[in-house]
Amino acid sequence: MANYTTPGVYVEEISTIPPSVAPVATAIPAFIGYTEKAFEKESLHLKPFRISSMLDYESYFGYAYPQKGIEVTVDGSTITKIEGLNNTPAFKMYYALQMYFANGGGPCYIVSIGQYGIPNPPPPAPVLPPNITLTDHEKGLAAVEKEDELTLLIFPDSNGLNSANDYYSVMNQGLIQSNKLQDRFTIIDTYKDGAIGTSDNPIPELRNKITNDTDYRKYGAAYYPYLKTIIDYNYNDAEVDVTLNNLNFTSRIDEKLIVIDEINTKLSGLATPINDYYTNVLPTTPTSNPLDEDDRLIGRGYIQNLINIFTQYADTFNSMIAVYEELNILLDGTLQSEIDDLITWTENNINQKLNDFNGFYTEFGAATLEEIRAKAIFTSILSVSMLDYVSGNFDFIGKVTSLYLSPTGYISVLNDTIITDGYDTSVATTLEAVKQVNNLLYNQIKQTIADVPMLLPPSSAIAGVYARVDNSLGVWRAPANVSLTYVIAPSQIVSNEDQGGMNVDDVSGKSINAIRAFTGKGTMVWGARTLDGNSNEWRFINVRRFYNFAEESVKKATEPFVFQSNDANTWVMVRGMIESFLTQQWKAGALAGASTEQAFYVKIGLGSTMTTQDILEGRMIVEIGMAVVRPAEFIILKFTHKMQEL
């Protein structure tokens, strides 16, 4: 009571209602692994950073590491083989977050222990991806130790460690930290994925290398097998090797050459009529007068024929050049010089003459014969030099045919290169080049790669399940008999007999939870045991995690009472606060019992939980007992015969 010295009226407020226990979050995982980048105003390297979505992750930590070594083989238009996607990606953090959010995950922490992206600005030397090391993971664990909110530990990239010893060392350190802080839980994968009953069975290795200390094991759970997921690999088109077989470039060129021969024949067929027109019509027409209208129309008709023929030349040569350019793109420009020569020849000998013909066709309609003959173009078209095109030795046709008949012709050289280097049989290129020449095939390859399931450890998906079950049903509900999203199937088939050996370990009690596929149900989490499976106290995950939840919630709520008077008034408030909290949990279904007396008890006081010596030493001891609900792991239906009654 205050010491009053001045007369007056004073108001004192007396607190009689105890404070409430605020429930803490139960499914806030920390993902410890490698990221593309780690920056938000400053470096986030080894700094736990809270995110709530994939968009947050991409903003601060980037994207997945591009998959290397993808090889695609195509025969004609059929994709026959894809290699390089059979292994689990080395850096799995991005994919793990996709699985986590897809399965119900919410806010989480990211701890970047190394970056595989290229810094900005890029350094002069190539940037190599970091090695996945035990030291990095130990630093990541040390970084999250001081973070109070998180409740789960996940190590997406730890399967990439060089040895099982290193991997399980990280898992054991996670269990040790969970036991030390008593507010978190470690989700563990097997080091490798393999079938039970084979030499690749990873179960014995896990049991041999996980700590045998039950104080640590009760803070973790293991899951098997890995998951075949629908997540798409991240990769760069330029780094995907594509082998194209049976492209038949020479046969496609031969088709164009047949057309050119046909055009040559058409051009040759104009020789006689144009020559007759030149020798019989033009000389009899006075040079100062316009041509007779009929003769003018005939002349324009011949020019139109030449326009049509040279248009066909241009179209055919351009389509042939397109075939060469397609191959050139696939070969990253190795044929560019030869193609440039052919393009230049086409421009000078076909396109330019076609332009001349078009211009002369217009002028021929109005000019007098004298004006026509005065035009330079007339000299090159309707004069003796016309023989260069359509008569005599057919010089122009000779120029065309020499391109593919002469050994030094541009087309001959290109075709010889195709045949000699075997490009008709097989071309090694990249997916980026395929995109430029064949968009349909490009999309087919992309879809085929997307159809390859990505193999991922289950821990990140399980963390999402924990969050989903906690939010919808409660942390006291076993996170089992729950389907997984983004999963095609488990990587291995687990039989009832297999799971029996996983679920019950009569040697050390290290239970391993199975993920199984059931007809009509999909892929289900079919186990809810901790690694301390032989303990009646800590056998089930939901029991351990509910205790974590209750302990942390009550701990935070009682912190305001530190240094308060250690007397009956304080004890009543503390007990009332805790009992109110546990009553709420009982009503929600977390505690078993027909009444609160059966569901829990809270003891505090001198002669009950404390001695006089405890009070003298500053200890306020509260004892809390809870009957947390256990899951019905085995439902046994007993049937018997009943005798018929009258």
Distance (Å, rounded) from C-alpha 202 to C-alpha 167? 13
Token pair listed for 54: 């994939």
Token pair listed for 346: 């086409």
**In this predicted structure, what is the pLDDT of residue 377?**
44
pLDDT range class, residue 127, cuts 50, 70, 90? low
Asked whether the predicted pLDDT for residue 385 surpasses 50, the reply is no
- What 3-state DSSP class applies to 328? helix
Distance (Å, rounded) from C-alpha 516 to C-alpha 496? 10
Q: If DSSP states are collapsed to H, E and C, what string results for 495-555? A: CHHHHHHHHCCCCCCCCEEEEEEECCCEEEECCCECCCCCCCCCCEHHHHHHHHHHHHHHH
Asked whether the predicted pLDDT for residue 283 surpasses 70, the reply is no
What value does the mean pLDDT take over residues 584-599? 96
**In this predicted structure, what is the pLDDT of residue 350?**
87
**In this predicted structure, what is the pLDDT of residue 376?**
44
The candidate with the shortest Cα–Cα distance to 111, out of 26, 23, 28, 4, is 28
What value does the mean pLDDT take over residues 293-314? 83
Quick: pLDDT tens for 413-436.
888 888 888 888 889 999 999 999
Quick: pLDDT tens for 316-329.
999 999 988 988 88
The candidate with the shortest Cα–Cα distance to 628, out of 468, 478, 469, is 478
What value does the mean pLDDT take over residues 232-254? 91
What is the chain's mean pLDDT, rounded?
A: 88
Place of tokens 């209208």: 293
**In this predicted structure, what is the pLDDT of residue 393?**
39
Contact, 359 vs 366, CB < 8 A?
Answer: no
Contact, 530 vs 175, CB < 8 A?
Answer: no
Would you tell me the crossing angle of helices 352-364 and 293-330 to the nearest 10 degrees? 160
pLDDT range class, residue 268, cuts 50, 70, 90? confident
Give the E-state strand segments of 76-212 in sequence order: 78-83, 108-115, 152-154, 185-189
Q: Give 345 or 379, the one with higher predicted confidence.
A: 345
The torsion of the CA quartet 357, 363, 368, 371, rounded to 10 degrees, works out to -70
Q: Give 264 or 562, the one with higher predicted confidence.
A: 562
Residues whose CB is less than 8 angstroms from the CB of residue 59 and which lie 6 or more positions away in sequence, other chains included = 40
Asked whether the predicted pLDDT for residue 299 surpasses 80, the reply is no
Residues whose CB is less than 8 angstroms from the CB of residue 280 and which lie 6 or more positions away in sequence, other chains included = none
Q: How many CB atoms lie within 10 A of CB 92?
A: 29
**In this predicted structure, what is the pLDDT of residue 389?**
41
Token pair listed for 409: 């012709």
CB half-sphere exposure, 511, CA atoms < 13 A: 25
Asked whether the predicted pLDDT for residue 216 surpasses 50, the reply is yes
- What 3-state DSSP class applies to 53? coil
Q: How many CB atoms lie within 10 A of CB 245?
A: 14
Distance (Å, rounded) from C-alpha 115 to C-alpha 43? 11
**In this predicted structure, what is the pLDDT of residue 90?**
84
What value does the mean pLDDT take over residues 302-327? 89
Place of tokens 């404390």: 610
Contact, 179 vs 547, CB < 8 A?
Answer: no
pLDDT range class, residue 3, cuts 50, 70, 90? confident
**In this predicted structure, what is the pLDDT of residue 388?**
44
Burial of 559 (0-12, 13-18, 19+ CB in 10 A): exposed
Would you tell me the crossing angle of helices 410-420 and 249-269 to the nearest 10 degrees? 160
Looking at residue 96, the DSSP 8-state letter turns out to be H
What value does the mean pLDDT take over residues 12-26? 84
Q: What percent of the chain has pLDDT over 90?
A: 64
Quick: pLDDT tens for 482-521.
999 999 999 999 999 999 999 999 888 999 999 999 999 9
Contact, 162 vs 99, CB < 8 A?
Answer: no
- For residue 185, report the phi and psi dihedrals to the nearest 5 degrees: -140, 140
- For residue 29, report the phi and psi dihedrals to the nearest 5 degrees: -80, 155
Distance (Å, rounded) from C-alpha 337 to C-alpha 245? 25
Contact, 627 vs 600, CB < 8 A?
Answer: yes
**In this predicted structure, what is the pLDDT of residue 128?**
64
Distance (Å, rounded) from C-alpha 579 to C-alpha 624? 9
Q: How far is CA 281 from CA 136, 300, 357, in A?
A: 94, 13, 20
pLDDT range class, residue 382, cuts 50, 70, 90? very low
Pairing of strands 152-154, 185-189: parallel
Question: What pTM, to 2 d.p., does this model score?
Answer: 0.84
**In this predicted structure, what is the pLDDT of residue 390?**
40
**In this predicted structure, what is the pLDDT of residue 418?**
85
Burial of 21 (0-12, 13-18, 19+ CB in 10 A): buried
| Least confident among 6-20, 254-268, 498-512 | 6-20
The candidate with the shortest Cα–Cα distance to 434, out of 77, 62, 132, 193, is 77
**In this predicted structure, what is the pLDDT of residue 349?**
84
